[in-house]
Structure 1
């Protein structure tokens, strides 16, 4: 009972701190929006990979294969780093709702 209450208090503090940060900083709001777009793009890539597998019998691209394809070029490394940062931000924002 005591442990559960402490966990709830920590969740509430975390949520309120993130909400204040989100409200005060416009750049963070934009990063959160971009993180949702990055997640959508990754899901689109995985979805197109599945469609191509079904229609052409090609190979299925996993998340690791997409990242590996990105980091083979210098520009791809920058894009992969940007996607990584945006996905970290998405992971931070996810519990907030």
Structure 2
């Protein structure tokens, strides 16, 4: 095993350290996401409605895992669009 600098290839140890660091980063990010979803599940339906989501949306996001945030944002946007359409229809 040789130390390399500049444009030379990274050593095996350096690559291993980077791989472990990335794995730990993903694990920490996944844990934060699980805790945030768990907090959402403890909220009342009225509070979730204020956020534009439902308990069902949160449960579906839990199942989606990697794309949980995208799932919740999409459901929130769909509800906002539907509410706006109702307001426009009522005003006409």
Length-normalised TM-score, structure 1: 0.35
Higher RCO, Cα 8 Å, sep 6+: 1
Larger relative helix fraction: 1
Q: Which of the pair has more CA radius of gyration? A: 2
